[in-house]
Amino acid sequence: MQVIATLTRSERQWALIILLVLFALGLALMAAGRNDPLAGHGALVMIAALAAIFAVISGYFTPEPGDERLDHYYDEPSKIGLVLAMAWAAVGMFFGVWVAALLAWPDLTFDAGWASFGRIRPVHTTGVIFGFGGNALIATSFYVMQRTSRARLPDQLSPLFVLFGYNLFCLLAVSGYMMGITQSKEYAEPEWYADIWLVVVWVVYFVIYLRTLARRNEPHIYVANWYYLAFILVVAMLHIVNNLAVPVSFGSAKSYSLFSGVQDAMTQWWYGHNAVAFFLTSGFLGMLYYYMPKRAGRPIYSYRMSIISFWGITFFYMWAGSHHLHYTALPQWVQSLGMTFSIMLLIPSWVSAGNALMTLNGAWHKVRDDAVLRFMMVAAVFYGLTTFEGSFMAIRTVNSLSHYTDWTIGHVHAGTLGWVSMITFGAIYASVPWLWKRPAMYSTQLVETHFWFAIAGTIVYVFAMWNSGIIQGLMWRTYNDSGTLAYSFVDSLIAMHPYYIARTVGGLLFLTGTLVGCYNVWMTIRTAPRTSTTGAEPALAEQPLLQPGE
Amino acid sequence: MTVEHDTLLWLSKSIGLFYLIGLSVAVMVYVYWPSNKKRFDRAASAILHDEDRPTEGVK
């Protein structure tokens, strides 16, 4: 195990202690759970801990790293995190295509309980949001915070703890859904024990970030770090509050939320919308503000604008969640409050999108030639489109047409495919050669291929859902002369069928692009550098400015 | 604990309002404070020169 060799002797000992505690916790869960599904998760934790213990032992007697390590950044967690992100992307998007196909052809559950829509749909959302997005955020945040602070991570063990601990959480989540373990809160499905584990991991993550910033050799904290830090801090708050629950017993996976009724709904959507804001926006804006200037070789168009939009986004988003609950039992004025803040959000969002696009002004030839930069450019365009659409859909009267229809699904995927995935793929393609000391990706042609698959997939998907959603919304509100609904629900479902097929095709295109990306990343890592490596480091530093055609 | 609608309304129309305005003013003052411009310009361009090891490039 190469990564163990980067740990000092005492860190290896601490790793073993932590893993033994984890093993004991798994054993305790298994014993307490008995016939409950909780016992299965106890076993999973034990196996994971055991595998990690073997890995640490196998590398235990490798020579310790010397003090010269302190002259370099600690990039092992970023490397592992990026590979895990690509792996989760492939798995999560595969489940996405499956669940999309399931809506068009319901027989695709193959009569298995674990393959029913209610179970594999959260496998898809958790796989892509937390597995793919989360790993990419953790990996790039370690990368960006070290470079922008010009300081090495404070130690070697805690970043690895965060990375592997987080992936254990994702694994517990996804395997739990298939066993029927869920809190039934969207994007917060994992049960109490997994939630507690995530809190531990997340607090360590937050502390690492603060410790690295405290060691920085730059006078000013670069804006990307602000966005990453807001992501870490606010996600901790949201996660803790929304998951306050009392388990039936310590031997049961089932728990009951502290909230009930409309308070529960409001807490959930305060969480849910801010998960979109701080998990899927803030952290990825941090990525954008580092990788886009870096790749384009130009400083951000307006640093001042980036700070203003930071505070705007951070402040306004907190209040926008109630727009998910228009026309419900939630008091009207709370709905109006959410709607108002959602509309105001357009300003900081467009300031960010505009700032990104203005940064590229003067570098459009690079956007044309370099697919990596083009991924980032498209991300900024989709960020602008999606935030406009989001503000629009939050208006109560628009929402009366769009809510509960596929328009919402289209909106979400414009954001996740067009914005979040595009910026992430851009950041991954930029980082991989820098991290593995390669002159470039294995194949720039395959990056180009991935780009066009991703764009085609996104457009097919989003247009299918826009059409489907608006037709659905209109059918549900069409009355006939006698004042009753003109269409039954099943009528609208039949009308959706062609769009569900189109959506599956769009998703499949996007997944194909991702698989091409996985192959390309893997080959870049596996293939030895094609040019001489002597004196590679200073030369590599200039790499982001090079273009494939040059 | 029950919080009445009127109480929340009062809070949002008084403290909430001034909190929002105060925060906006504070951010604007910080962003446009003349002596901060140098820091910002440096920060914006500092990320471009690399940097394959800590403290490298610190001036």
Confidence (pLDDT) at B56: 52
Q: Using the beta-carbon criterion (under 8 Å), do B55 and A293 form an inter-chain contact? A: no
The full DSSP string for chain B is: ----HHHHHHHIIIIIHHHHHHHHHHHHHHHH-TTHHHHHHHHHHHTTS--SSTTTT--
Q: Using the beta-carbon criterion (under 8 Å), do A150 and B52 form an inter-chain contact? A: no
Residues in chain B: 59
Nearest by CB to residue A150, choosing from B12, B44, B51, is B51
Q: Is the pLDDT of residue A88 over 90?
A: yes
Best mutation target, A266, A307, A359, to test chain B (most B CBs within 10 A)? A307
Closest residue, chain B, to A312 (C-alpha): B24
Prediction ipTM score: 0.88
Residues 6+ apart with CB under 8 A from A222: A148, A149, A289, A290, B43, B46, B47
Q: What is the mean pLDDT of residues B6-26?
A: 88
Best mutation target, B2, B4, B39, B47, to test chain A (most A CBs within 10 A)? B47
Best mutation target, A67, A150, A334, to test chain B (most B CBs within 10 A)? A150
SS3 A294: helix
**Interhelix angle A135-149/A192-214, nearest 10 degrees:** 10
Kindly tell me the burial class for residue A111, based on how many C-beta atoms sit within 10 Å of its own C-beta (0-12, 13-18, 19 or more): exposed
Amino acid found at A372: V
pLDDT in tens, A392-451: 999 999 999 999 999 999 999 999 999 999 999 999 999 999 999 999 999 999 999 999
Nearest by CB to residue A152, choosing from B9, B12, B54, is B54
Q: Distance between CA atoms of A469 and A324, rounded to whole angstroms? A: 16
Q: Using the beta-carbon criterion (under 8 Å), do A150 and B12 form an inter-chain contact? A: no
Q: Using the beta-carbon criterion (under 8 Å), do B12 and A148 form an inter-chain contact? A: no
Q: Using the beta-carbon criterion (under 8 Å), do A304 and B55 form an inter-chain contact? A: no
- Of A94, A100, A85, the closest CA to residue A511 belongs to A94
Q: What is the mean pLDDT of residues A215-240?
A: 95
Min distance A405 CA to chain B CA atoms (Å) = 31
Closest residue, chain A, to B56 (C-alpha): A150
Q: Is the pLDDT of residue A536 over 50?
A: no
pLDDT in tens, A269-315: 999 999 999 999 999 999 999 999 999 999 999 999 999 999 999 99
